[in-house]
Structure 1
Amino acid sequence: MERPGRTLVKAVVWNIIGLGTMALVGLLMTGSMAVGGAMALINTGIGLAAYVIYERIWARIRWGIAHV
């Protein structure tokens, strides 16, 4: 079973990647670094929270796990 700390580290690393990607997309779409950055930060905050909750729910579901 995955520990909560591992889930959090995975979520943070993934969201750093997403933050950079979203900031670039926001900049390209709006022409503004400030607007693109704000969009990226909001998206990252929501995505981080959703991912951690999602992973913790799946950590409790035994379906599909092979027991050795």
Structure 2
Amino acid sequence: MKESHLRSLVKGISWRITGTMDTIFVSYIITGKASYAFSIGAVELITKILLYYLHERAWAQIKWGWIPTDRQPKQNA
């Protein structure tokens, strides 16, 4: 089975929301300023969604590690 471009995009967005919340939290702890934390989080959100999407699509083209799902059990003759 092959993953659709939309599925890769939605996975990237959901993961980045989680990651961006972490980045905002860490940025706030380090800077002590909410405005800096949210600015860093906003930039990071966009760039990392794009990077994740490209990474997923590249790996979708690599056949290594895939296991066929349509195998039929061998029947005794």
The TM-score, its normalising length taken from structure 1, stands at 0.92
Question: Could you report, residue by residue, the CA deviation over 1:17-49 in whole angstroms, capped at 9, with x for unpaired residues?
Answer: 011111111111101100011111111111111
Structure 2: segments with no counterpart, 5+ residues: 72-77
Amino acid at match of 1:64: G
Runs of 4+ in 1 over 3 A off after TM superposition: none
Give the share of equivalent positions with the same residue, in percent: 28
How many pairs align? 68
Structure 1: segments with no counterpart, 5+ residues: none
Distance in 1 (CA, whole Å) between partners of 2:61 and 2:11 is 17
RMSD: 0.9
The TM-score, its normalising length taken from structure 2, stands at 0.82
Q: Tell me the equivalent position of 2:18.
A: 17
Distance in 2 (CA, whole Å) between partners of 1:2 and 1:55 is 9
Q: Which of the pair has more CA radius of gyration?
A: 2
Q: Tell me the equivalent position of 1:27.
A: 28
